[in-house]
Structure 1
Amino acid sequence: MSPTPQIELPQQQILPFSLGNRLFDDGQDSNNTNSPTFVCDDQPSWLSRLFFMLNEKLVVNFTPVFFASVMGTGICSNILYNFPFPAKWLQVCGIIFSVVCLVLFLSLTALMIFALFKDSHLWYRIHRDPVHAPAMGCFVMGFITLVNMLHSLTEKSWIYAVWVLWWVAVFGSVYTAFLTFFFSVVGKHRKRENVLKTSNISLAFLLPVVTLTVCAALGGSICPDLPKLNMKITTMVLSFVMWAIAVILAFIVVLVNFWRMFVHKIPATGQVFTMFLPIGFLGQGAYAILLFGRNCVEIIMENSNNVASSSYTSFLHEAANSHNQDLSNLPVILSTALLATSTMFAASLMAFGYFFTFLAFASVLSKMQPFARKPNTQHIYDGTEGNIVQRLFSGFLRFNRGFWSMTFPLGTMSLCNGEMYNLYKGMEAFRYISTIYACILISITLGCLCGVAYNFVKMVITSMRPATSKEMV
């Protein structure tokens, strides 16, 4: 009597979406391209697949770079609300952008908190990892843009609340510029995990430093509305200290990166948008020092009768008394000297910002067709295949989160040029330069928002497509 033949049942495979999904197989090699493809009879719902994809992208792979979208929409809202050529409809658009910015900030903050609870190593990465930690500056700067917009909307009515929020921003800026910068960039680790090759030195190290200039500019913006003189002077002095630290340290970082570019040339295609980051500290630094000069003039003129006898100018009136000199013109002399010095510093930073604007756009264009002879095909759209969007933007760089790196720096150049015009109305050209930067900023920000929406829709379509056995194995 022959033995009963053994029947092998197909094994059940477990997928990350749900348990117990059964795959059908015809017994052939799965690598054989001629083998038939079957659709799973017990697929997870498209919502489950979409949730898994979002969790993988936003929580498991969370990075503080996501807050660059908050920075971009935040500075866009501020510029629209205070446009060089003001209009009511532009202010409405600015308010709409501020709502988008607030939604992004709250959503991403909730995601970050959730990711910190879920991944115990994330706290280490955002403090010590030289790749992820510098991007924590995006979180602080995004918060500052929201506070700035709140001040534009409320002005003096909520000035105490805005001043308290400014102190919160000061803490965040000092924390990232001092502690995060030290631990991630210059501090030595036992495992030497943050030791970099010269080719990996990045302009992204500017991100925690620029927070100080952004916070200094916010201090200069709210200073005129503060009710007490000591509050104004405290805010101005602290803002100047932060500005000085940021500008000097940022120039050191830029100098090292120029050495890297002399040796290794401009960054690779995936990192080329970091070329815009120096524009941020140059534009914001110029804007902050112009506000400092303006506030100095206003405070001195408001208290012109007490300047010569004030404790803040004690050395001057003591020296004048000992040499029998008249200090009646001291307010005018001090105001002129401080404003002229601030303007010269700002003009120098703005001039370098113009150069870096050219350098950044030239670097990006050099990675695209027809300027690049051999473009990196992984980072450009191929018009021969894909959907209508890929065919429309054939030869252009694929949208990625690096595109957001363009928004905030260009916005700072708009702010500093606009402030230069506000101080010197005769220099009409600065008003138009500010408008040009603002229009480029708004266009890029809208493009980035469309890119985010496109990627989300693409993800939804992918999740709704029936998964085949080849995709699910």
Structure 2
Amino acid sequence: MITHPTQSMFIGTLPMGFATIVNMFCFVCVPAWGEWARDFTWAMWIIDAVIAVTTALSLPFLLMSRRDETQLSSMTAVWLLPIVGTVVTASSGALVAEILPNPQHALWTVIVSYVLWGIGLPLALMVMVIYLQRLTLHKIPPKAMIVSVFLPLGPLGQGGFGAMRLGKAAQAIFPKTNTLEDISGQVFYSMGFLVGLILWSFGLVWLFFASASIARCKKFPFNIGWWGFLFPTGAYASCTCQIGAELPSAFFRILGTIITLCVVALWIAISMVTLKGVMAGTIFHAPCLADLRAKEKERGVVVKVV
């Protein structure tokens, strides 16, 4: 799977899924269970950060170092998956920093989160430039991969949410630790909101491209890739809701609620269809294993010839 140019990219979903568990520990388990849950959550976040950096650096390099030449026409937005994990982990780091009682621990969590954000988001933006070129030259993906056009919403939505949450954490932690100048925390908070609003606005562009592509296809077959609807849209909903929380704006709060309800409805519908496919045994397909079987057959033919 690691050597497959497409399937290997899905390893990047591991730190993203792990980050959601860390978030729920921050929101639910720490208030209910106390001190040990706080330390356990911080340890889980550190492990998640290591996994996220490893996948973000290693998988793109493996793609570069493959012997077979990669055609631009074969590129899909799944190239973003191993990269976005660092942005998601950075957003979780802001939540973890808010629950840590030690200001120094919280400070280093915020600093590392900014580093993770800086690793993931600029690299994701570069990949999105390549993807836009692919869409322009080779047109929208085939129906089986059409859902992937929603994936650029992930780094933009989560990047905006992370920038705002990290700025909010810096505003509270920097004065306690005498970090930089007295007003540095406020500056980070204001810049975080500005960056979040810009990324949210850029997400509107990709939301239009994705929606227009889906509308043009009209009907397309269900496959496991439909889960690609959920995370990008959910990340964009988080960014929208966070803007609504920072601004005295009913528009963003209502819009964030609408997008969130759409995500919930999609999750229910896709879960039901997926469960039906699991029961029938028709939903899962691993191209990397098919390639492996083909290689084994070739090796078997060579051995017989010899």
TM-score (structure 1 length as normaliser): 0.57
1:90-131 per-residue CA deviation (whole Å, 9 max, x = no partner) reads xxxxxxxxxxxxxxxxxxxxxxxxxxxxxxxxxxx22x3211
The alpha-carbon deviation at position 456 of structure 1 amounts to 3.3
1:373-392 per-residue CA deviation (whole Å, 9 max, x = no partner) reads xxxxxxxxxxxxxxxxxxxx
Q: 2:11 aligns with which of 107, 130, 136?
A: 136
Q: 1:409 aligns with which of 222, 232, 244?
A: 232
The alpha-carbon deviation at position 238 of structure 1 amounts to 0.6
**Corresponding position of 2:132:** 258
1:38-91 per-residue CA deviation (whole Å, 9 max, x = no partner) reads xxxxxxxxxxxxxxxxxxxxxxxxxxxxxxxxxxxxxxxxxxxxxxxxxxxxxx
Please identify runs of 4+ aligned residues in structure 1 that moved more than 4 A: none
1:211-237 per-residue CA deviation (whole Å, 9 max, x = no partner) reads 000000110111111011111111001
Q: 1:160 aligns with which of 12, 18, 39?
A: 39
One-letter amino acid of the counterpart of residue 161, structure 1:
F
The alpha-carbon deviation at position 404 of structure 1 amounts to 0.3
**Corresponding position of 2:121:** 247
The alpha-carbon deviation at position 457 of structure 1 amounts to 4.1
1:171 aligns with 2:46: no
CA distance in 2, matches of 1:339, 1:167: 24
The alpha-carbon deviation at position 423 of structure 1 amounts to 2.0
Structure 2 SS opposite 1:155: helix
CA distance in 2, matches of 1:208, 1:456: 26
5 Å-filtered alignment, 1:368-407, equals 368=218, 396-407=219-230
**Corresponding position of 2:151:** 277
One-letter amino acid of the counterpart of residue 179, structure 1:
S
The alpha-carbon deviation at position 361 of structure 1 amounts to 1.6
- What is the Cα-based RMSD across aligned positions, in Å? 1.6
Q: 1:436 aligns with which of 252, 258, 261?
A: 258
Q: 1:212 aligns with which of 78, 82, 86?
A: 86
CA 1:202–1:456 in structure 2 vs 1: closer, same or farther (change >3 Å)?
Answer: closer
CA distance in 2, matches of 1:236, 1:418: 21
Q: 2:216 aligns with which of 366, 373, 377?
A: 366
**Corresponding position of 1:26:** none
CA distance in 1, matches of 2:184, 2:199: 23
Q: 1:346 aligns with which of 196, 204, 217?
A: 196
Q: Is the 8 A contact 2:159 2:199 kept in 1?
A: yes
CA distance in 1, matches of 2:216, 2:205: 16
Kindly indicate which of the two structures has a greater share of residues assigned to helix.
2
1:259-278 per-residue CA deviation (whole Å, 9 max, x = no partner) reads 11111111111111110110
5 Å-filtered alignment, 1:9-28, equals none
One-letter amino acid of the counterpart of residue 273, structure 2:
G
CA distance in 2, matches of 1:261, 1:207: 18
**Corresponding position of 1:149:** 24
CA distance in 2, matches of 1:293, 1:457: 46
**Corresponding position of 1:53:** none
One-letter amino acid of the counterpart of residue 59, structure 2:
T
One-letter amino acid of the counterpart of residue 134, structure 1:
M
One-letter amino acid of the counterpart of residue 400, structure 1:
N
CA distance in 2, matches of 1:452, 1:255: 32
One-letter amino acid of the counterpart of residue 211, structure 2:
F
Q: Which has the larger radius of gyration?
A: 1
Aligned length: 278
One-letter amino acid of the counterpart of residue 100, structure 2:
L
Unaligned stretches of 5+ residues in structure 1: 1-124, 317-329, 369-395, 461-473
TM-score (structure 2 length as normaliser): 0.86
CA 1:296–1:257 in structure 2 vs 1: closer, same or farther (change >3 Å)?
Answer: same
